[in-house]
Amino acid sequence: MRSFLGRDILSLRDFERADFQRIFEVCDELAPIAKTRRNADLLSGKTLLTAFYQPSTRTRLATEAAMHRLGGHVLGFSDAKMTRAGDFYQESIKDTVHMLEYYGDVIAMRHFEQGAPAEAARWASIPVINCGDGWGEHPTQVLTDLYTTQKELGRLDGLTYLLVGDMRMRTMHSILYALSQFDAKAYVVGPPEMSLTPEFTRELEERNVRYEEAFSVEDVIEACDVIYMEPVVQADYTASREERGGGGVATTPATYRVTRQLLREKAKPGAIILHSLPRMDELPADVDQTRHARYWQEAFNGVVMRMALLALVLGAVE
Ligand code: CP
């Protein structure tokens, strides 16, 4: 296993089983700090820089919360328009990162362009954590998803996953890379116009990922232990709610929805539902009160996961 000290966390493509296991061990070690809400001083004297070029609720705030929990400092931007990278200068990633690397010890970046965090890592002398890059990947989210699965089901091998949603999304890329390291099978369900790209499909085949495309959630849900969801309809976020009017967002077809009724009639009793959130109507709110929902547990685990990653890349734990 490669050391995590100073390592960029850009992609799950090259993560090995031992990498996942080590991160999960550190999560278990650090979770009591988050659970008891008694902040520690493991990263006192270290500073996290958040460079978010795209909106985020969970990823940015969970990463910042993680740094605070470990006694570190946080500075950064959540709206690039207020920086030279986002105004008419459109300052390059290279030039921006050459500044940021002197302001702190680790950079957490979200960007609308695929590959932007990797470009940042080329120029930064400090670790870069990819917090979501365009259609690329979302490693910290999927690490949280898998840690949640490990905690809730006790294992990652021998499980069947149902991946529902837009298969071009970054979470879907990261989770399918990750599953290559486990004895796992995935059913993939999404609209044909949002299916896995041919290049990605080739990569999955090269990596021996076991997956099968299916037409609807209903067709395969009874075989699945983990139901992993993303929306297939999105609001036009370039317009305000008022501009969009009441009917601005389409309704999710039944083939891509998970409802209480479907869970009652077809799901395994112990199946869990994960969702990276935010959700649309693919996952009605009344599912929250079923035994299957684990996406709120993910809110807690998301902080723990970022604590572990920060502690590892900054060398506070081996
Ligand atoms: N899961 C996730 O990436 O959520 P945010 O966009 O709120 O960070």
Please determine, for residue 247, whether its predicted confidence score (pLDDT) is greater than 90: no
CA dihedral sign of residues 161, 165, 170, 171: negative
C-alpha gyration radius of the chain: 19
Query: Does 162 lie in the same domain as 24?
Result: no
What is the pLDDT at residue 236?
55
- The average pLDDT across 66-74 equals 98
Same domain, 306 and 265: no
Mind spelling out the 3-state secondary structure of 223-270?
A: HCCEEEECCCCCCCCCCCHHHHCCCCCCCCCHHHCCCHHHHHHHCCCC
d(CA 259, CA 282): 8
Mean pLDDT of 140-150: 98
d(CA 119, CA 107): 12
9 inside domain: no
Is the model's pLDDT at 49 over the cut of 80? yes
Residue 311: which residues within 8 A CB-CB, separation 6 or more?
Answer: 26, 30, 42, 43, 70, 317
Q: Which among 53, 54, 56 is the best mutation to test ligand 1's pocket, defined by most ligand atoms within 8 Å of the CB?
A: 56
Residues 177 and 242 in one domain: yes
On whether both 172 and 263 belong to a single domain, the answer is yes
pLDDT at 239: 52
Q: Is residue 7 part of a domain?
A: no
Q: What is the pTM of this model?
A: 0.96
Closest CA to 17 of 164, 163, 177, 257: 177
Q: Please indicate, yes or no, if residue 12 is contained in any of the structural domains.
A: no
Residues 153 and 39 in one domain: no
Tell me the mean pLDDT in the region 57-69. 98
Task: Decide whether any atom of ligand 1 lies within 6 Å of the 181 Cβ.
Answer: no
216 and 91 share one domain: no
| 246 is a domain residue | yes
**Which residue CA neighbors atom 4 of ligand 1 most closely?**
58
Q: Is residue 58 within 6 Å of ligand 1 at its C-beta?
A: yes
Is residue 162 a contact partner of residue 220, using CB atoms and an 8 Å limit?
A: yes
What is the Å distance from ligand 1's center to 132 Cα?
Answer: 8
User: Given the CA of residue 138, which atom of ligand 1 is nearest to it?
Assistant: 3
Residue 227 shares a structural domain with residue 89: no
Q: Ligand 1 centroid vs 62 CA: distance in angstroms? A: 9
Domain span at 210: 139-297
Q: Looking at the domain assignment, is residue 113 inside a domain?
A: yes
> Both 40 and 154 in a single domain?
no
Supply the pLDDT for residue 242: 60
Cβ(141) – ligand 1 distance below 6 Å = yes
Paired strand residues for 162: 187, 227
Q: Is the CB of 235 under 6 A from ligand 1?
A: no
**Ligand 1 mean position, distance from CA 126 (Å):** 24
216-250 burial, b if ≥16 CB within 10 A, otherwise e?
ebbebbeebbbbbbbbbbeeeeeeeeeeeeeeeee
pLDDT tens digits, 88-106: 999 999 999 999 999 999 9
155 lies in the same domain as 276: yes
Whether residue 3 lies inside any domain: the answer is no
- What confidence score (pLDDT) does residue 29 get? 98
Token pair recorded at residue 266? 């077809």
Q: Is residue 271 part of a domain?
A: yes
- CB of 144 within 6 A of ligand 1: the answer is no
Question: Mean pLDDT, to the nearest integer, of 292-297?
Answer: 98
Domain containing residue 62: CATH number: 3.40.50.1370
* Cβ(276) – ligand 1 distance below 6 Å: yes
Residue among 54, 57, 130 whose CB has most ligand 1 atoms within 8 A, to mutate: 57
| 3-state secondary structure at position 118 | helix
Q: Which atom of ligand 1 is nearest to the CA of 60?
A: 8
108 has pLDDT over 60: yes
Q: pLDDT value at position 231? A: 94
Same domain, 146 and 70: no
Say if residues 48 and 310 touch (Cβ distance below 8 Å): yes
Number of domains in the chain: 2
Q: Are 163 and 224 in contact (CB under 8 A)?
A: no
- Asked if the model's pLDDT at residue 7 lies above 70, the reply is yes
For residues 63 and 163, state if they share a domain.
no
- The amino acid occupying position 95 is D
The protein residue whose alpha carbon is closest to atom 3 in ligand 1 is 59
pLDDT tier, 235 (very low <50, low <70, confident <90, very high otherwise):
low
Q: Does the C-beta of 61 come closer than 6 Å to ligand 1?
A: no
Report which residue type is found at 148: T
Both tokens of 113, joined, read 């362009």
**How far apart are alpha carbons 277 and 291 in whole angstroms?**
18
